[in-house]
A and B are shown apart, each in its own frame.
Chain A
Amino acid sequence: MNIVKIKAKPKTIIKLILFLAIVISSIIFLATDDSPEITVDTPAVPSVPEPGEAPSEEEPETEVEQPIQAPPPEQIGLDEAGPENRAKFVESRQEEIDGHRFLTENSKMEMYVKEENLSIIMRDKITGAVMYSTIQDPVQSNESWTNFMKSSIVMEYLVGTNIVTYRADMYSGNPQKNVTYHENGFNAEIYYPELEISFELAVTLTEAGFVAEIPREKIQENNERYRVSGFYVYPFLGYSKLGDREGYMFIPDGSGALIHLKDNDGKYRQPYSRMVYGRNVGIDDPHVLSLFNNRNPFNDPEDILAPVFGMVQTDSEIGFLGIIEEGQFSARIEAYPSGAILPYNWITSKFIYRQVYNQPTSQDSGSMVVRQRNKNNFDIRVRYEFVTQENANYFGLAETYRNYLLDNNLIAKKEDEFNVRIDLFGSDLEQGLLFKRDVPMTTFSQASNILNTLQANGVENILSIYKGWQNKGIYGGLPIRSFNPESALEDDKSLQSLLEETRENNIDLFLHHDALRINLDEYRNSRYKVMRKFNKRRHTDDVYGNVYRSFHFLHPESSVELLERMKPNYINNNVENILISGISNELFSFSENNREYDRIVTKEYYESIISDYDSTFNLMLEQPFSYLWKYTDAIIDLPSGSSDYVFTDEDIPFLALTLRGIVPMYSEYVNFQANQVEFFLQLVEQGLKPSFLITHEDPSALINTNSSHIYSSKFDLYEEIIEDYYFQLKEIHEKTKGSMITNYERSNGVTTVTYDNGTIIYVNYQENDVTIGGQTIEALSYKVVQGR
């Protein structure tokens, strides 16, 4: 019966269904829209806050991701502000200082050692200044920190699958020590019976300091459960309490920076702690970013380009430069201004053998922390070179490092010729209606025009880097796989003829080659391998551009393969000058087929191909790490400042002081400096050569490309400026050509730089004239006084 009825009226049923749908959807519509707003009861009378109560805080919800912020570490013993009163000077040679027995000496230094904790004391024989390496009477704190402060070597280890690191030092973990002394120092075998881990420390007195070593092969791990994760080596060498001493710590942040030894009133909660040679993208998660209108509102801090750090105590005129000779690829440099955890100023290197990393387990959320499987492959060797008397300042540290580099052939003296660097920007892509469109900015004939115009105006010596010359432009054409110049740039001149012309005119034109990045939007099915992190995900290099949001890194093997493939291509097309970027200042760990590779593997790939290129071409590297300095003809984009950390008291041009007169150094682009007058003075002071990024077209054409950050580059507007910079800086260069800096001083906003040929340069950063050493220097200006 029913069925018949239904069949009789299909229309009614459809109407019914429609009606139901209407009702349901309207309910959904209303329910989803307003329910959250009606739930609140009567408008509450706002409560009057009690005194001392924190003001009600509204947490803005605008950020894309809420950054995970580690709670600030506890501060220990800050109220114990009493001075330490350890002797700064020890008059003559002693049998024992503070429980340290005299061990050995050379013409400059004496070394004392305390077997209990392998602590050493270094004494300068001329002045009697001493430097301690452990704290004798630490401030009141928990046992773990007390033991830490009294130890010369601290080992960190991981337990089972636990991700927390534990510490074993000279007291914690009850080590058994077997120390053997010899005439230059001592060897110590250290064994932790509970952990079944042993290692060996060798300390050797050198001419101007000492070397501490922990060889990898001597690190024995006999229990599956306990694994070494890292070492601190002499963390408290040259420490001082609060504002007891005068002096500073030197951190290699960008151009170099100083943290003064002072009482900070506990305002800094965190230390300076950075990986040598930049972050390791293969393991470390990038800093969680809160985007600002789809852009990254922050600049990355500067990387550590050279594995050095230092401490100078100016009141007793003693200081040291720590050089990490081995293990720098897995090392961090940590500097604790007083009040960051402990009331001491201390700086140290920390070596990492194993790390933990995040392994995501689902597509969008959820991850677990996993331990690195194999130990990183390196020995630890830190050289401490001491500076005393009038050399006990940061210039002394720079000089020490310069001599070290030259003596060990880590850098070769290059010809010091003055050039102005005119980088030319070829092309980039923007979105088009159907396809991406080329945006040619400087064609090859326009490039030739620009360079010729400059030479005709007397700007004779030019070094130029052509960026974005390849097909599809600077970002669309990554990676460079063949010698295929962008056709939109070839108007009536080809790249080859431009190269030839510049050779004839004595201009060094370098082709820019980014050997690190791959653009998977353009080369989705390329056969080149993409680097994967330890968690097997591809690393994305987020740029938040208008066309491409991110790039990926090539597997080091693919980087090498591509460069090898390009080599005959370059040779056949008569390219003699190459600038390699990307791989010159990036190092990472990676995984492949379930195996983990550390940064040293990456470094070996890169170094082999770069040295190969160096022997074939005139090679330049963009902001290279120190292990590549010997291969580059010049250092491009040398940072002229630090990253401006809150605890930094002063920026110093450490790299420039070290390298001036050895390798030509080119500054970052003048275009993008907001304070151009001051930047110019900095070039004068540091002996950097000026750099410009130049296009023929107006850069407003780039606004819809990934290069929209270039906002000022048009040649017509820069012609005069380039000439001004060129003639002024060239004049100074003529007087200091090939010379190294022998002294560097700052007082009252005036910097005095003395060269080894006797020339003195005064730079006045102030807005009033200053008289110094009988010379009057105009406001915001400089003066060069020729040597005798």
Chain B
Amino acid sequence: MLKKNKMITFLIFLVTFSLVNPSHSLANTAYKTFTEDGYGNYVETQTAYTVSETIFKFGDELFRQASDLKIDQNGLLYVSDTGNGRILVGTRDGELVGIIGEDVLARPNGIFISEDEKLYVADEVEAKVFVFSLEGELLSEFGRPDSILFGSSSTFVPEKVAVDRRDNIYIISRGNSNGIIQINANSGQFIGYFSPNRTVVTPLTMFRRAIFSEEQLARMIDMVPPTAHNLNIDDRGLVYTVTQGVSNEAIKKLNMAGSNIIDMNVFDPFPSSIDIGPLENIFVAGENGFIYEYTSEGNLLFVFGGRDDGRQRVGLFGKISAIVVDERGHLYALDPEKNQIQIFEPTEFTNLVHEALTLYQNGDYEASKEPWQEVIRLNSLFDFANLGLGEAYFKEENYEAALTSFRLAKYKDGYSDAFWELRNVWMRENIINLLYIALGLFILKKIVSRVERKYRIWNSFKSKMDEKYNLKLLKDLVFIKNMIRHPIDSFYSIKYENKTSILSSTIFIFLFFVLYVLEKYYSGFIFRTVEDGEFAIGTDFVMVFGVFLLVITCNYLVCTINDGEGKFQHIYSGFVYSFAPYFIIKPFVIIFSNILTFNEVYLLNFTNFFIYSWVAILIVIMIKEINDYTLKETIKIILLTMFTILIAVLLIFIVYVLVAQMLSFFVSIFNEGVYRIEHR
């Protein structure tokens, strides 16, 4: 066979022993598969999993509203057949092996198979957790804990259940916001609540807390933290939870202390189920029918699937209530609306990624290089592979290749490290030359200033030019340097000596815009906040000029009604000239951002802080001097200006909405008219 392909085949053989089903594996899949790039955006990739089989029933037993699915060590499937009040056990070929708890269970929801081969079933209606042997014998049951610690008003409506190897039962109870209930399986004792989801405290809530009465506070439901929706436990005893409708930490990997040790860039807004695969990869199913595969560290490898919406195609879902991974890496997704289980098997590409990932996670970066290269051959945009390859190169001390790979992966930490190494090498080779150049420049400057002092060539040229042409604009522009040394004097000059003009100030605003754009799009990769290929220059333009205009106008308006002395031109120029430190220092910041790494980031941060505080001080002085206010008045004016800005923005928004409404109204009338005339 093909040389490269032979390798792949071999790898597949290592990873899986599956039979290929030719009728379904190569069809045009209904869904696209995406992976995450270094920025956390989705990019398309090869199909990661294809459906090999669909199970509609075990034997002749159909499912109804099935809500959970687990797989035991022998590969048998356990389906929590909620609608029929029982647990069905079957093989992956759809044969029925047994029915558990038919007379005991009322409405089983979550199930779990513990390490010592017991089946735990959470029953909402019975409000109990039942324990069965895998043969179906009822071993024990746990009701509402009577401990005082449990809380007298706390509810016990078990939805999901999990058990660790120390026989602690973790129970998610509907409506119990205290956290996950932890019960010891041997003694039945309530141990405590495990890792509650915390509410995010916003300034608004703080404000409310300050002014609301006790009663009002008690009525605010968003004070109650959202409960976890589902949970699972991996071989090492780490608890994984998913929570719906939260904007961060929707997926958590909890250590023994109950704190989250994972951070994900992207996740489903409504995760419904979670499982951990053989490589410690995390599989999450969303209620909308999307399936996500993450690495154990939370990097998204693949996302695929989706809602069926009448497309009638294999691999789509009405809804997913449970997802399970078996030891071969096959996925089983339970659909409670279509009442079926779809079995997905990994493609050759996915097996290759997993192979590389195994080596990478074991720290065997060098061995992982080859499979990563093969992944990249198949998909150059697979950023996680670029990252892995970068690490491999870095270990080999091939920093240039590492730099390229990290850059492609948009992995800033790695890029910074590789760049640091390269810069080090370059510095070592060129430090002498640099010193020579610095020395040369220094000497040159000395000579020039001495010559100038002696012959005054530049000075006479300047005065000559001055006589000949009227260079007011140039002088106005150069005047900005006085802002650095004598700000108060300069504002006096602006006010009384006409040292600036509207034109010169406008030119400086343009300069500000240019610097702003340069900083935004041409800072070094490590420090850039925008993504590659993202340009919004029109918006930038409107923003810079809009903000300047708004602030200056509002300030002017407030000043005029508060006995300020400044004319518009003075305030305009004063504002713009207050940015003198920005104009002088920012270019260096932009240049240096291209040669600095994260190790020296404090330098940049400090410089920026320095620039902005200086500008702020200059503005305050400007307002005070130009209008001849006292300090107290100045502060008042600044606050009033801010308020005026708020009102102005509000006003603009209202006008915009009204105009848009009106336009859409006229368009509708016109269309209706045209239609009526045409269909006479």
Q: Tell whether A674 pairs with B306 under 8 Å between CB atoms, given A301-B313, A703-B43, A711-B380.
A: no
Asked if A70 is an interface residue, CB under 8 A from chain B, the answer is yes
Instruction: State whether A295 touches B5 (Cβ < 8 A).
Output: no
Is A774 an interface residue when CB atoms closer than 8 A count as contact?
Answer: no
Q: Which of A14, A52, A270, A766 contacts B20 (CB 8 A)?
A: A766
- Checking B20, B44, B640 against A767 with a beta-carbon cut-off of 8 angstroms, the contacting residue is B20
Output the least CB separation between B145 and chain A (Å).
Answer: 17
Contact B349 A69 (CB under 8 A): no
CB pair A714–B380 under 8 Å, yes or no, is yes
Which A residue sits closest to B2, measured CB to CB?
Answer: A724
State in angstroms the CA–CA spacing of A536 and B132 once bound together. Answer: 65
- Supplied contacts A268-B312, A646-B314, 4 more A-B pairs, CB within 8 Å: A51-B85, A297-B290, A675-B347, A720-B4
Checking A302, A363, A641, A680 against B2 with a beta-carbon cut-off of 8 angstroms, the contacting residue is A680
| B309 touching A67, Cβ below 8 Å | yes
Instruction: Jot down 28 A-B pairs with beta carbons below 8 A, ordered by A.
Output: A18-B640, A25-B650, A38-B220, A58-B244, A67-B310, A254-B27, A267-B338, A293-B41, A296-B32, A299-B32, A301-B30, A363-B664, A363-B667, A363-B671, A366-B668, A433-B537, A641-B28, A644-B27, A646-B312, A651-B26, A674-B47, A674-B347, A674-B349, A677-B348, A704-B532, A711-B380, A717-B377, A721-B5
> Smallest CB–CB gap between A294 and chain B, Å?
9
Q: Complex Cα distance A366/B671, Å? A: 11
| C-alpha gap A566/B28 in the complex (Å) | 35
**Whole-angstrom distance from the CB of B318 to the nearest CB of chain A?**
10
B315 within 8 Å of A by Cβ? yes
B60 closest partner in A (C-beta): A265
8 Å CB interface, A739-778 against B: 749, 751, 765-767
A104 CB–B CB distance under 8 Å: no
Asked if B222 is at the interface (CB within 8 A of a chain A CB), the reply is: yes
A22 cross-chain contacts in B, Cβ below 8 A: 643
Please report B residues at the A interface, Cβ cutoff 8 Å.
Answer: 1-5, 8-9, 13, 17-20, 22-32, 34, 37, 41-48, 50-51, 54, 56-57, 62, 65, 67, 82-83, 85, 106-107, 124-125, 127, 155, 157, 174-175, 204, 208, 216, 218-222, 224, 244-245, 269-270, 286-288, 290, 304, 306-307, 309-316, 338, 340, 347-350, 376-382, 408, 517, 521, 532-535, 537, 561, 640, 643-644, 646-647, 650, 664, 667-668, 671-672, 675, 678-679
A298 neighbours in B (Cβ, 8 Å): 30-32, 306, 311, 316
A492 at the interface (CB under 8 A from B): no
How far is the CB of B409 from the nearest CB of chain A, in Å? 10
**Which A residues lie within 8 Å of B348 (CB)?**
674-678
**Cβ-defined partner of B561 (8 Å) among A14, A40, A45, A720:** A14
Query: Within the assembled complex, what's the spacing in Å between the Cα atoms of A69 and B316?
Result: 15
CB distance from B221 to the nearest CB of A (A): 5
- Encode A427-444 as 1/0 by CB contact (under 8 A) with B: 000111110000000000
Contact for A643 among B30, B57, B307, CB less than 8 A: B30
Residues 43-72 of chain A, each 1 if its beta carbon lies under 8 Å from chain B, else 0: 101101111101100101011000101100
- Give the A interface residue count (CB, 8 A): 112
Which residue of A43, A673, A712 contacts B224 across the interface (Cβ within 8 Å)? A43
Asked whether A49 lies within 8 Å of B34 as measured between CB atoms, the reply is no
Q: Does A457 touch B at the CB level, under 8 Å?
A: no
Query: Do A362 and B671 touch (CB < 8 A)?
Result: yes
Partner-contacting stretch, out of A284-292, A418-426, A613-621: A284-292
B664, A362: Cβ atoms under 8 Å? yes
- B208 closest partner in A (C-beta): A34
Return B677 CB to nearest CB of chain A, in Å. Answer: 10
Query: Is A708 engaged at the interface, CB distance under 8 Å to the other chain?
Result: yes
Cβ of B487 to closest chain A Cβ, rounded Å: 30
Nearest first, the 8 closest Cβ-Cβ pairs linking A and B are A704-B533, A46-B175, A674-B347, A362-B668, A641-B27, A644-B27, A674-B46, A765-B22
Chain B's closest residue to A300 (CB) is B28
> Is A364 part of the binding interface, using a Cβ–Cβ cutoff of 8 Å?
yes
Contact of A432 among B2, B290, B347, B535 (CB under 8 A): B535
A372 at the interface (CB under 8 A from B): no
Residues from chain A with a CB closer than 8 A to the CB of B17 are 767
How close is B321's CB to chain A, nearest CB, in angstroms?
Answer: 9
- A16-56 contact mask (Cβ, 8 Å, vs B): 1 or 0: 00100110010010000110011011110110111110110
Indicate if the CB atoms of A60 and B288 lie closer than 8 Å.
Answer: yes
Enumerate chain A residues within 8 angstroms of B51, measured Cβ to Cβ: 644
CB < 8 Å neighbour of A33 from B67, B204, B679: B204
Assuming the contacts A299-B29, A767-B17, asked whether A45 and B307 have C-beta atoms less than 8 A apart, the reply is: no
Known: A62-B288, A265-B56. A302 touches B22 (CB 8 A): no
Give the contacts of A476-522 with B (CB-CB under 8 A): none
Q: Are A699 and B65 in contact (CB under 8 A)?
A: no
A708 touches B28 (CB 8 A): no
Residues of chain B within 8 A of A640, CB atoms compared: 26
- Would A40 and B219 count as touching, CB distance under 8 A? yes
| Docked-complex contact B20 and A265, CB < 8 angstroms | no
Instruction: List the B side residues contacting A34 at CB < 8 Å.
Output: 204, 208
B67 touching A37, Cβ below 8 Å = no
Asked if B204 and A302 sit within 8 Å, CB to CB, the answer is no
CA separation between A645 and B51, bound complex, in Å? 11
Q: A664-680: contact bitstring with B at CB < 8 Å (1 yes, 0 no)?
A: 00000000111111111
Contact A62 B270 (CB under 8 A): yes
B559 to chain A minimum Cβ distance, whole angstroms, is 13
* B380 with A699: CB separation less than 8 A: yes
Contacting A641 at CB < 8 Å: which of B26, B42, B309, B534?
B26
Whether B125 and A46, one on each chain, are in contact in the complex, defined by CB atoms closer than 8 angstroms, is: no
Of the candidates B56, B82, B222, the one whose C-beta lies within 8 Å of that of A267 is: B56
A102 at the interface (CB under 8 A from B): no
Do B18 and A767 touch (CB < 8 A)? yes
CA of A769 to CA of B136 in the docked complex: distance in angstroms?
41
The interface bits of chain A over 618-658 (1 if a CB of B lies within 8 angstroms of the residue's CB, else 0) are 00000000000000000000011111111111110000000
Which one of B3, B57, B127 lies within 8 Å of A720 (CB-CB)? B3
Q: Is the CB of B314 within 8 A of A645?
A: yes
What CA separation (Å) do A14 and B218 show in the bound complex? 41
Contact between B46 and A677 (Cβ–Cβ < 8 Å)? no
CB-defined contacts of B377 to chain A, threshold 8 Å: 712, 714, 717-718
* Contact between B26 and A682, CB atoms less than 8 A apart: yes
* A42/B306 contact (C-beta < 8 A), A682-B26, A704-B533 known: no
State in angstroms the CA–CA spacing of A52 and B125 once bound together: 10
Chain A residues near B22: list those with CB within 8 A: 678, 749, 751, 765
Q: Which of B4, B82, B290 has the most CB atoms of chain A within a 10 A radius of its CB?
A: B4
Tell me whether A21 and B107 are in contact (CB under 8 A).
Answer: no
Chain B residue nearest to A668 in the complex (CB)? B28
B residues less than 8 Å from A75 (CB atoms) = none
- Residues in B with CB closer than 8 Å to A680 are 2, 5
Distance to closest chain A CB from B4 (angstroms): 6
**Across the interface, do A676 and B5 meet the contact criterion of CB distance under 8 Å?**
yes
Task: Find chain B residues with CB under 8 A from A649 CB.
Answer: 23
A62 to B125, CA, bound (A): 31
Residues of the A chain whose Cβ atoms lie less than 8 Å from the Cβ of B3? 720, 724
Contact A361 B204 (CB under 8 A): no
Q: Chain A residues near B650: list those with CB within 8 A.
A: 25, 28
* Measured CA separation A714–B174 after assembly (Å): 53
For residue B286, which residue of chain A has the nearest CB?
A: A60
Determine if B44 and A60 form an interchain contact, defined as CB atoms under 8 angstroms apart: no
Contact A290/B155 with A639-B28, A643-B30 known, Cβ cut-off 8 Å: no
A359 touches B307 (CB 8 A): no
Which of B25, B27, B309 counts the most chain A CB atoms within 10 A? B27
Judged by a CB distance under 8 angstroms, whether A180 is at the interface is: no
B347 to A, closest residue via Cβ: A674
* Interface check A178, CB cutoff 8 A: no
Q: Check: A11 CB closer than 8 A to any chain B CB.
A: yes
- Whether A431 pairs with B535 at a CB distance below 8 angstroms is yes
A254-275 contact mask (Cβ, 8 Å, vs B): 1 or 0: 1000000000010110101000
CB-nearest residue of chain A relative to B42?
A293
Whole-angstrom CA separation of A721 from B1 in the bound complex: 11
CB proximity of B300 to chain A, nearest CB, Å: 12
